[in-house]
Structures are given as C-alpha cells and as structure tokens.
C-alpha cells in the first residue's frame, strides 16, 4: 500500500451579513505517475464552496464538484471520467422530512 499525501485548503472569500463564504480545494502532494492510483484518488479530490453562519456556528450550505478524466488506468485504451456534484443545505426547523412533496396528496390515518 502506497501512502499518498494530500492537503485540503480552505480560503475565506468573503463575509456578508454574518455568513462566511469559504473556498475548499484538495491538492495531492505526492507525485502520481500510475493512472490506476490516480483513478482511485479522483473520488477524494473535491473542490467547491461552503457557506458558514458565523453567529450560529454552523454550515448553511455547501457545494462540491469534481470533473476529472484519467486515461490509461487499465491499459493504454482505458479511460475513466469522474463527474460528481454534491450539494447540501441546512433544513428549516419546521420542515417535516416525512411529508409528501408539494402538491402531492397525503392520506392521514
């Protein structure tokens, strides 16, 4: 098993009305010359933004994306294209996660 060093960086972009917008990125520090290893690492290389409520001390929203292609991970003719988009938002307190979507009929017993 090969140890690979990576660093996740957080950069404050702006603060507006008590909400900090933070840019997140992942950089692989270990030189990678094997496409098979690179194809496994691509899942961990997230980049995006986090919106943080300073007063409440919690994340309001985060959006991470990955779009990377690795060629030759299983021979010269192989190619993998990894696309991932992750979005998370803080739910409002009164929201009921067991209710039907807007406009759908719900049978009450």
Does residue 97 lie within any of the structural domains?
A: no
Instruction: Provide the domain count of the chain.
Output: 1
Mean pLDDT of 89-105: 66
Q: Is residue 100 part of a domain?
A: no
Beta strands in 1-106 (DSSP E): 6-16, 19-28, 47-53, 58-71, 79-89
CA distances from 45 to 48, 65, 77, 79, 99 (A): 10, 9, 24, 18, 35
Is position 107 within any domain?
Answer: no
DSSP 43: G
Is 42 contained in some domain? yes
Domain that holds residue 31: 6-89
Report if residue 79 sits inside a domain.
Answer: yes
Q: If you average pLDDT over residues 48-55, what whole number do you get? A: 97
Q: What is the pLDDT of residues 57-85, one digit of tens each?
A: 999 999 999 999 999 989 889 999 999 99
Examine residue 62 and state whether it is found in any structural domain, yes or no: yes
**Considering the domain boundaries, does residue 71 fall inside one?**
yes
Give me the pLDDT at residue 1, please. Answer: 72
The token duo for 88 is 């998370």
Residues 56 and 33: beta-carbon distance below 8 Å: no
Residue 66 inside a domain? The answer is: yes
């Amino acid at each position: 098993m090969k140890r690979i060093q990576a660093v996740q960086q957080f950069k404050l972009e702006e603060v507006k009305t008590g909400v900090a917008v933070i840019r997140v990125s992942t950089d692989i520090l270990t030189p990678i010359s094997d496409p098979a290893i690179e194809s496994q690492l691509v899942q961990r290389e997230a980049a995006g933004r986090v919106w943080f409520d300073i007063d409440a001390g919690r994340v309001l929203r985060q959006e991470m994306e990955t779009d990377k292609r690795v060629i030759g991970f299983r021979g010269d003719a192989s190619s993998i294209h990894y696309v991932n988009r992750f979005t998370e938002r803080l739910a409002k307190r009164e929201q009921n996660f067991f209710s039907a979507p807007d406009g759908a009929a719900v049978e009450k017993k």
